[in-house]
Amino acid sequence: MVDDGRIAIVPRIGTRADAGPGALVQIADGDVSYFGFHSAWLRAQGVEPSSVRLLDIHGDSMLPTFKDGDTVLVDTGIDRIVDSRIYAVVFSGLLIVKRVILKRDGSVILRSDNRDIYEDELVPSGEVAELHVAGRVFWAGGSI
């Protein structure tokens, strides 16, 4: 990531996140392309420009929030669940984008927005350590 103080050049990670059952991935800097965003805008979102990555969405489980082919900005500076928002997470080798809800008993719910088709997935407290937070999603864009 390059940040000249005005424009941050944000890499697109060379993998796709599933907004469905998940896609087998490796989290690595397999960057294939770059996009520019105003550094001031990223900071106004509460994000450090050097921590931002673009990720493509695949699947329909996050409809209507994200549709297949949308691109999201992920704040990789957030590596733990801090609120009930949308995160890119790796669980059992699968990269997925879901709403992540912490429960008082230490378990976690992975929730799809397309709840007519997809049920919540419960990660028991004993398995939460296997849930890797790749980052929090804070912006989305796509074609109309």
CATH number at residue 16: 2.10.109.10
What integer pLDDT is reported at residue 27 of this predicted model? 46
What integer pLDDT is reported at residue 13 of this predicted model? 80
Residues in the chain, pLDDT under 70: 1-4, 14-32
Dist. CA 89–CA 79, nearest whole Å: 9
What integer pLDDT is reported at residue 4 of this predicted model? 61
What integer pLDDT is reported at residue 31 of this predicted model? 44
Residue 97: give the domain boundaries.
2-141
Dist. CA 139–CA 68, nearest whole Å: 15
- Tell me the residue type at 130: E
Based on the structure, what is the number of domains in the chain? 1
Asked if residue 99 lies in contact with residue 65, where contact means CB atoms within 8 angstroms, the answer is no
Helix residue spans in 21-81 (DSSP H): 39-44
Prediction pTM value:
0.85
Percentage of the chain modeled with pLDDT above 70: 84
What integer pLDDT is reported at residue 136 of this predicted model? 96
